[in-house]
Amino acid sequence: MSINPLPPAKPPTGVGRLPVARWFVLTGVVALVAFLAGAAQILVMINELHVLEPRPEIAAQIDRLTVSLVVLCLALLVAATALTLMVRYAVLKPIAQLTDQVRAVAGGDFDHRLEVARPAELAELSSHLDSMRRRILANWRTTLDQAEELRRSNGELEQFAYVASHDLQEPLRKVASFTQMLEQRYGDQLDERAKQYIHYSVDGAKRMQLLINDLLDFSRVGRVTSGRTVVETRPALDAALVNLSGAIEDVEATVTADELPKVVGNRVQLTQLFQNLIENAVKFRTELPPRVHIGATRKGDLWEFSCTDNGIGVEPKYADRIFLIFQRLHPRDVYPGTGIGLALCRKIVEYHGGQLWLDGDAEGPGTTFRWTLPAAGDDDE
């Protein structure tokens, strides 16, 4: 199985930059030079003793010493050669073998087995590394299976979205349309209770259509998008205000904004985010004309936005509940809606890598929502 290779290894620093083999070679060369220098010095000293013409018994001792030194040098040379071969075949070669195997795995060939037979320490180390490799590979394959299942599930959700947006809404439109036609054609033959029933039917069909549309919008966040790019947030806000122009004019609301920055995001979803928050601010108003202000402050790599209004406000104890889907704090006949708006806003913000919350410490009446979005790379702080 071949997957994306791992990033390059961190380069060693200091004396660790030299491989182990070179350290052995360097140590061996220094030891050999020291050994040869010592042997040469001893031979020079023996020759000097022969020049002095010592007595025969002393000369014999010197000869025996010379033979002993020669035998010792040969033994040391054989031992050094054996040690060199042992280090090469028992340490350096297995280390190089394990290094090549690890590099193959790091290069993306995760099916490459890690196995070194000697020495015991390296054999144990390679066994542990191979166990980790097999565990990671098993988890990776499980993740691939889950990703495939998720793609299949998303395909089914897409199919459901198509059915919901067409096949389910068409009967609702017919129910509402034919019920209204029934009232128009036979209205003079119906009493007030029958007309009330018709009104309930039409209202229920329209609310069901609105609920289906909101659920579709909620399910599409993060799935049906054109990707994230550098986006000017001011045009996104302007588009939201155009969509809400009728509601804003009806209640004589005023919407102001600071100079808004560029962020990394999806313009369509950011427009929907502004639209939902401003629509909530206009809906949950007091007797005073609504006043809504959009602000933005740089916070490191993020922009922190705020939406402040002078409406009825939200008690801090409901700060989490209001972001749950289908959760309402007010009766439907007082403030209409499906209870999905803020849940959709939070999902949009989280899809962009930010957070959305209710500012319970904001000064003054009304409500303040704050959210963060990743700043574009070319923004000035």
Q: Which three-class secondary structure string do you get for 240-303?
A: HHHHCHHHHHHCCCEEEECCCCEEEECHHHHHHHHHHHHHHHHHCCCCCCCEEEEEEEEECCEE
pLDDT value, residue 263: 93
What tokens were used for 208?
Answer: 């069901």
How large is the average pLDDT for residues 214-233? 70
Most confident of 14-28, 85-99, 130-144, 289-303: 289-303
**CA atoms within 13 A of residue 80's CA, in its CB half-sphere:** 17
What tokens were used for 145?
Answer: 């299976």
Q: For residue 17, what are the contacts with CB-CB under 8 A and spacing of at least 6?
A: 11
Which phi and psi angles does 110 have, rounded to 5°? -75, -5
Is the pLDDT reported for residue 216 higher than 60? yes
How large is the average pLDDT for residues 135-156? 85
**Shortest CA distance to 80 belongs to which of 18, 38, 25?**
25
Is the pLDDT reported for residue 234 higher than 80? yes
Is 136:3 a contact under the CB 8 Å cutoff? no
Given pLDDT bands bounded at 50, 70 and 90, which one contains residue 262? very high
Given pLDDT bands bounded at 50, 70 and 90, which one contains residue 237? very high
pLDDT value, residue 376: 84
Q: Which residue in this structure is represented by tokens 């010379």?
A: 66
Helix axes 20-51, 56-87, angle to 10 degrees: 170
pLDDT value, residue 381: 42
How large is the average pLDDT for residues 88-105? 81
Is 347:223 a contact under the CB 8 Å cutoff? no
Question: What is the percent of the chain with per-residue pLDDT over 70, rounded to a whole number?
Answer: 83
Is the pLDDT reported for residue 2 higher than 60? no
**Shortest CA distance to 303 belongs to which of 333, 271, 342, 263?**
263
How large is the average pLDDT for residues 324-332? 72
**Shortest CA distance to 255 belongs to which of 245, 265, 264?**
245
Is the pLDDT reported for residue 380 higher than 50? no
- What is the pLDDT of the chain when averaged over all its residues? 81
What span, in angstroms and rounded, lies between the C-alpha atoms of 6 and 15? 25
Contacts 24+ apart (CB under 8 A), 197-203: 201/175, 201/176, 202/176
